[in-house]
Amino acid sequence: MNQLQKTDPEIYTIIEQEKKRQQKQINLIASENYASKAILEATGSVLTNKYAEGYPGKRYYAGCEHVDSAEQLAIERCKKLFSVHHANVQPHSGSQANMGVMFAALKPGDTILGMSLAEGGHLTHGHPINFSGVFYNNVQYKVHPETNMLDYDEIEKIALECKPKLIIAGASAYSRIIDFEKFAYIAKKVKALLLADIAHIAGLIAANMHPTPVGHADFITSTTHKTLRGPRGGLIMCRKEWAEKIDKAIMPGIQGGPFMNVIAAKAVCFKEALQPNFKEYQQQIIKNAKVMAQEFIALGYDIVTGGTDNHLFIVDLRTKNINGRLAEQILEKVGITVSRSCIPFDPQKPWITSGIRIGTPAITTRGMQEEQAKEIVRLIDEALQSHDNEKTLHSVTLKITKLAKKHPIYC
Ligand SMILES: Cc1ncc(COP(=O)(O)O)c(C=O)c1O
């Protein structure tokens, strides 16, 4: 019996149940992944005990020599991985990273221009119910109504009209290449700062599988737990001239003591991402996403933008007379987790939606390739088409369980 089991059998049981769920289900949530055992060990280490307000060498607490080394390693590896001048690895999450940039660069009431949540952006890019939409004057850009792709001419037009102080490039549900160079051109033209939020595509960028915003953006924010496959957390990278302001915005600006256990785990994540096999992993993520999108199309589904260049895509379910929420529920029943997702200009409410977002980082971590990716699409189709047939749903569940068993998370 381990210590957790003795101290708190309820939480122990919940964790064991969650472990089983993760092993049993096929995870197509584009923002999730399975961190390595090494990352889990660092996250669960004694570093969680340490207070270290401040930065390496300049702490407000004694006894920081070892955590200083951990943070310094994380910073150096992050800088090497993305070829940047400055990295702050303390943001507790992607949202905190975005808040840190806005706190450093803006005054309340300044105008920000970001992608609307309903068209694929993120809450922190200026949604009215988020701090970013409450404290700042938010203007939102959408996608082109016909192609559903970013429309740089339109973004330029909006920027010229609203004269934002900050433009945000980046998305949670956009399957195409983001042209950071074009965003930088627009930002320069209207004298705005540019924030590239690479939370979703950080792994692809680190592996040179998506054009980098480095050299184009003033600030780059990210999460570490999506394609990057690290612990839950955030980070900010920036130009030299912003380094001090960014560090001050994170601490003492918006955060207190950093999570040193998570920072150590971020260091491990960056080390893993610097290995040659990380590039192969990212390549396979894209191959799997492309083949799945093609298979959906072959089965008569509409894919927003007609395909994907990255790790995710959105299935428009309207031709199948099913909404996103129902699809999410049916698929969970057979052991597949997906996120329901708005399609651009969605006629349905955000709680219901007309689509589902499919992502391949997690199945690719399990070693699944094109063959398995295609099989999963066929099983999704079977479940959605026959969702009131319990016999079919049972047979799909068995196939999913078998597939998951063949590709365990931690071998
Ligand atoms: C583009 C983008 N930015 C920021 C975030 C926020 O990250 P977190 O959930 O760690 O706060 C997300 C998370 O989904 C995201 O997709």
Write the pLDDT tens digit of every residue in 49-78: 999 999 999 999 999 999 999 999 999 999
DSSP secondary structure letter of residue 343: P
What does the alpha-carbon distance between residue 366 and residue 384 come to, in Å, rounded to a whole number? Answer: 24
Ligand 1 atom with minimal separation from the 95 CA: 11
Domain spans, the chain: 40-273, 277-406
Residue nearest to atom 6 of ligand 1 (CA): 94
Estimate to the nearest angstrom the gap between the alpha carbon of 353 and the chain centroid.
Answer: 20
- What's the CATH fold of domain 40-273? Aspartate Aminotransferase; domain 2 (3.40.640)
- Which residues' Cβ are closer than 6 Å to ligand 1? 31, 93-95, 98, 122, 124, 170-172, 197, 199-200, 223, 234
* Among protein residues, the one whose CA lies closest to atom 3 of ligand 1: 199
* Ligand 1 center to 94 CA (angstroms): 5
pLDDT digits (tens, 9 = 90+) for 148-160: 999 999 999 999 9
Residues 98-113: pLDDT tens digits? Answer: 999 999 999 999 999 9
Cα separations (Å) of 144 from 21, 37, 329, 372? Answer: 39, 42, 30, 33
**Locus of tokens 């192609």:** 147
Residue 251: its pLDDT value, please?
98
> Rounded CA gap, 207 and 178, in Å?
16
Predicted confidence (pLDDT) per residue in 373-400, tens digit: 999 999 999 999 999 999 999 999 999 9
Percentage of the chain beyond pLDDT 90 is 99
Catalytic residue among 71, 119, 197, 295: 197
Quick check: is 226 catalytic?
yes
DSSP assignment of 378-398 equals: HHHHHHHHTTT-HHHHHHHHH
Other CB atoms closer than 10 Å to residue 70's CB: what's the count? 25
First to last CA, the chain: 22
| CA 10/CA 342 separation, integer angstroms | 37
- Rounded to an integer, the average pLDDT of 247-262 is 98
Residue 82 has pLDDT above 70, yes or no: yes
pLDDT reported for residue 139? 98
- The CA 121 to ligand 1 mean position distance, Å, reads 10
Dmax over CA atoms of the chain, in Å, equals: 65
Cα separation of 183 and 156, whole Å? 8
Pairing type for strands 312-316 and 355-359 reads: antiparallel
Among 142, 176, 226, 340, the one annotated catalytic: 226
Residues in CB range of 188: below 8 A, 6 or more apart: none
Question: Pick the catalytic residue: 12, 32, 41, 51?
Answer: 51
Residue 411: pLDDT over 70: no
Q: Among this protein's residues, is 224 annotated catalytic?
A: no
Q: Is the peptide bond before 213 cis (omega within 30 degrees of 0)?
A: no
Structure tokens at 388: 């009131």
**Topology (CATH) of 277-406:** Aspartate Aminotransferase, domain 1 (3.90.1150)
Tell me the CA–centroid distance for residue 123 and ligand 1, in Å.
8
> Which pLDDT does position 395 carry in this prediction?
97
- Indicate yes or no: pTM above 0.95: yes
Q: What 3-state class would DSSP assign to 186?
A: helix
> Which residue(s) pair with 235 in the sheet?
222
> In percent, how much of the chain has pLDDT > 70?
100
Mean pLDDT score, 171-195: 98
CB 199 within 8 A of CB 221: yes
Strands (E), 239-320: 302-303, 312-316
Write down the pLDDT at residue 410: 81
Tell me the C-alpha distance between 307 and 314, whole Å. Answer: 9
Amino acid at 27: N
- Atom 4 (ligand 1): residue with closest C-alpha? 94
* 3-class state of residue 124 by DSSP: helix
- Six token digits for residue 132: 């970013």
3-class secondary structure, 357: strand
**343 CA from centroid of ligand 1 (Å):** 18
- Mean of pLDDT values over 11-31: 97
Q: Tens digit of pLDDT for each residue in 367-377?
A: 999 999 999 99
**232 included as an active-site residue:** yes
Q: What's residue 256's pLDDT?
A: 97
| Inter-residue long-range contacts of 73-76, CB under 8 Å, 24+ positions, other chains counted | 73/267, 74/263, 74/264, 74/266, 74/267, 74/270
**Alpha-carbon torsion, ordered 193, 206, 171, 213, to 10 deg:** 20
pLDDT tens column, 286-330:
999 999 999 999 999 999 999 999 999 999 999 999 999 999 999
Write out the two tokens for 85.
């001048």
Q: 168: which strand partners?
A: 195
> Is there a contact between 102 and 112 (Cβ–Cβ < 8 Å)?
yes
Is 223 annotated in the active site? yes
Question: Which of 277, 280, 266 lies closest to 77 in space, CA to CA?
Answer: 266
Nearest CA to ligand 1 atom 9: 94
Residue 226 Cα to ligand 1 middle (Å):
9
Name the average pLDDT for the chain: 97
